[in-house]
Structure 1
Amino acid sequence: MSYFAAFLKMKDLELSQTFRPYHLSYLEELEEQGKIFARGPLEDGTGGLVIYIADNFKEAKEMAENDPYIVHEARELSLHKWNMTTGK
């Protein structure tokens, strides 16, 4: 398993507010499946971050692109493989 960071840059605030319940429901379903490591909004209001757990980039991209925020063009997606390291 690998980690993939999905940055969801704010594109349309009104659409983001409209699709927020669907976005949260979608992520909750993926969390129940063990496909989410972490998630949350950026404090400055410019978007959010989701860390997906997937076998490969293709799988992570499919999950990220099916997020209602992306499907309805409320947010812009930037997806990157994340090589997580931990402190001491």
Structure 2
Amino acid sequence: MKKGEKLFVRIDYRNNNKEFRTNDFEEHINYLKKVARERFFIGGGFENEKGGMVIFKANDLKEAKEIAENDTIIKKSLYTCKIYEWNLLLLSEQIEEY
């Protein structure tokens, strides 16, 4: 990663009206692992809320939305998400270029 690059932030919000099954979570994790093999990607769930966040590299907002919309938890409406374009201004010296 380099200062000045754009990343995308996806904030997930749990839809409490939908039933969540174990295999839904497994499908979600498998999809995220696939995405993570292809590009810079970090993600996780919030400890005190039902939701999560991922930060990832994409070519543009259109591609970022496609990545988000192909996640099974979004496709099944188990979660909704918002995508934000994020300009990288500060970067720790310990982080190697990706």
* TM-score class, shorter: 0.7 to 0.9
The counterpart of 1:21, out of the listed 26, 31, 54, is 26
Q: Distance in 2 between matches of 1:81 and 1:40?
A: 18
Partner residue, 1:30 = 35
Q: How does the TM-score come out when normalised to structure 1?
A: 0.85
Change (3 A) 1:16 1:55: farther
The counterpart of 1:56, out of the listed 56, 60, 68, is 60
* Bigger fraction of residues in strand: 1
Bigger Cα Rg? 2
Give the total of aligned pairs.
87
Could you list the runs of 5+ residues in structure 2 that have no partner in the other structure? Answer: 93-98
Deviation at 1:21, TM superposition (A): 0.4
Identity of aligned residues (%): 28
The counterpart of 1:6, out of the listed 7, 10, 24, is 10
* Bigger fraction of residues in helix: 1
CA contact (8 A) 1:16 1:74 kept: no
Change (3 A) 1:35 1:61: farther
